[in-house]
Amino acid sequence: MEKQTIQAFAVFAPFAVKITTATPFFGGRGALSLGGEGLMVNISYYGSRHYMNNVVYGVRQGAIDKLSADMAHELAPFNVCSLSLYPGVVRTEGMVAAASFDPSIDLSGSESPLFVGRCVAALCWEKDRSAYNGTTLYTADLGRLYGIEEENGFRPERSEGERR
């Protein structure tokens, strides 16, 4: 599965660039424009920097980060910003179901998928998003920077492991 994840990123990237930019790329014109700039946000996790779960998991996360950084370099001439985004623990349906069976899973400080989406939307509106090109950002940091909160007013923070 890890191999397919990275292959999917690599295959999808040129198509994403093509539809999100107004500049010609691979012989086409973009259908959706973010003011003449593209934004490629690859969801990863800090397991690429610190041991988490197992070796294969960490390698997959590291590959996503490397892909984001290298795409940033190659896509910069097309005004496309590529970055990795690290959400904290996200309350997906799968995580909620897992937490109902495993009391060790703590979702008290978790993020909703909506919060993560709001962080991506803030990056879309960022006038100087090219400053983030090739970087790794944490959703908790973007929430603090842009004043993004959960629907109930809660603002997630980085976990202890993410602060290392």
Whole-angstrom distance, CA of residue 50 vs CA of residue 159: 13
DSSP H helices in 55-138:
55-75, 93-101, 113-125
Tokens (6 digits) for 113: 């998928």
Nearest one of 124, 107, 162 to 140, comparing CA atoms: 162
Reply yes or no on whether the pLDDT at 3 is more than 90.
Answer: no
**Domain extents for the chain?**
42-163
How far, CA to CA in Å, does 76 sit from each of 39, 67, 82, 101, 138? 11, 14, 8, 45, 22
Q: What's the CATH fold of domain 42-163?
A: Rossmann fold (3.40.50)
**Residue 137, pLDDT score:** 95
Q: Is the pTM of this model over 0.75?
A: yes
Q: How confident is the model at residue 136 (pLDDT cuts 50, 70, 90)?
A: very high
Predicted confidence (pLDDT) per residue in 61-80, tens digit: 888 888 889 888 888 887 88
How confident is the model at residue 27, as a pLDDT?
44
pLDDT for residue 101: 94
Instruction: Compute how many other C-beta atoms are within 10 angstroms of the C-beta atom of residue 120.
Output: 15
pLDDT of residue 28: 43
Tell me if 83 sits within 8 A of 68, measured CB to CB: yes
pLDDT digits (tens, 9 = 90+) for 80-127: 889 999 998 899 999 999 999 999 999 988 999 999 999 999 998 988
Mean pLDDT of the chain: 81
